[in-house]
């Protein structure tokens, strides 16, 4: 049965325009190249990209969520293919074979809104949070054996949570007294009891749930690998567009583009030719006020756009 949860694609037209570099009417563009939607999700970006491709254009999509892959398999278009893999597998594509890569790093609304996925502190569900439910351990399984220092480090580093220590101690104490935490609401209540103050309007469990999700899915490591892979797969002149939703992701993307958007000189060999830049930073785009009003989950989105240089 079709799940009732829907997803509103963030920066839909802006992202696809950035990918193709359309300065005129995007409906007139008919691209012949090969493009990658590195995070298919529910396919909003992919479907719009396909509408811009010529009959010989190609779109390769990646997603590690089996539900997303099932949605992708419903697209009957010979120009389209889906890979049930994380986007770090971009590195498997041939060098200089791709004209554009789009990454939307946000968690899709169906993942958040479906209690059985365990991403949300607002709904009772199993404490899972895996993007790919066919492999790896869940958050609940990890919390069964992790010690206080390990838990505190994850919550502090990935959630930027200043109460990481008390939260970690509370998790371990609860485990010792009453057994492992198995549901989202159990964890959310435990965090709320351990966090004494919180920003107005923000649930106390927000940072902890973000941290555990990022950790259990190795999201930041996957992002680093995928960005590096883009330098390998993008053709000269190819575009990279990345939409991030929190500061940890955006910092990685911003620093990656900056690092490769300048000539690098070897101080040990001052007269040697510099290593030339591999990327050119093009733009930084945020959702309009209208989009934020229509979809509150878009409010923190930032898209950074870069182009592979010809060097």
Q: pLDDT (tens digit, 9 = 90+) per residue, 298-311?
A: 999 999 999 999 86
pLDDT, tens digit, for every residue of 191-224?
A: 999 997 777 778 999 999 999 999 999 999 999 9
Query: Domain limits at 82?
Result: 12-109+219-308
pLDDT of residue 221: 97
C-alpha triplet 231, 233, 238: angle, nearest 5°: 75
pLDDT at 1 over 80: no
- What's the pLDDT band for 264 if we cut at 50, 70, 90? low
Of 165, 186, 216, the last residue of a domain is 216
Residue 176: CB atoms within 10 Å: 8
The CATH number assigned to the domain holding 231 equals 3.40.50.150
| Residue 46: partners with Cβ closer than 8 Å, 6 or more residues away | 37, 40, 59, 61, 72, 75, 80
pTM: 0.90
151 and 274 co-located in one domain: no
Please compute the mean of the pLDDT values over residues 256-273 and round it to a whole number: 70
Residue 64 near residue 82 (C-beta atoms within 8 A): no
The CATH number assigned to the domain holding 197 equals 1.10.150.170
18 and 42 co-located in one domain: yes
| Residue 121: partners with Cβ closer than 8 Å, 6 or more residues away | 184, 185, 187, 188, 191, 203, 205, 206, 209
231 and 91 co-located in one domain: yes
DSSP state of 183: B
* Joined tokens for residue 265: 């000189």
| Residue 122 included in any domain | no
pLDDT of residue 2: 40
223 and 193 co-located in one domain: no
pLDDT of residue 110: 81
Kindly give the pairing relationship between strand 98-104 and strand 34-37.
parallel
């Amino acid at each position: 049965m079709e799940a009732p949860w829907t997803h509103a694609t963030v920066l839909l037209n802006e992202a696809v325009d950035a990918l193709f570099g359309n300065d005129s009417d995007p409906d007139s563009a008919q691209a012949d190249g090969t493009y990658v939607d590195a995070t298919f999700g529910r396919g909003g970006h992919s479907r719009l990209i396909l509408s811009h491709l010529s009959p010989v254009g190609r779109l390769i999509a990646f997603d590690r969520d089996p539900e997303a892959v099932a949605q992708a398999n419903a697209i009957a278009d010979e120009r389209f293919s889906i890979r049930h893999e994380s986007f770090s597998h971009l590195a498997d594509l041939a060098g200089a074979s791709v004209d554009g890569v789009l990454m939307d790093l946000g968690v899709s609304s169906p993942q958040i809104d479906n209690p059985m996925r365990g991403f949300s502190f607002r709904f009772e569900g199993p404490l899972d949070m895996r993007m790919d439910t066919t492999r790896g351990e869940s958050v609940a399984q990890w919390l069964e054996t992790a010690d206080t220092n390990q838990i505190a480090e994850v919550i502090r580093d990935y959630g930027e949570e200043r109460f990481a220590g008390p939260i970690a101690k509370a998790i371990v104490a609860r485990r010792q007294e009453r057994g492992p935490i198995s549901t989202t609401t159990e964890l959310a209540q435990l965090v709320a009891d351990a966090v004494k103050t919180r920003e107005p309007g923000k649930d106390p469990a927000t940072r902890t749930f973000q941290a555990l999700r990022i950790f259990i899915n190795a999201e930041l490591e996957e992002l680093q690998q995928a960005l590096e892979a883009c330098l390998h797969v993008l053709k000269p002149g190819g575009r990279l567009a990345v939409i991030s939703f929190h500061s940890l992701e955006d910092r990685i993307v911003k620093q990656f583009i900056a690092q490769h958007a300048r000539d690098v000189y070897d101080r040990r060999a001052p007269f040697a030719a510099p290593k030339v830049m591999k990327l050119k930073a093009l733009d930084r785009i945020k959702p309009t006020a209208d989009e934020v009003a229509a979809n509150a989950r878009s409010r923190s989105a930032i898209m950074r756009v870069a182009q592979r240089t010809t060097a």
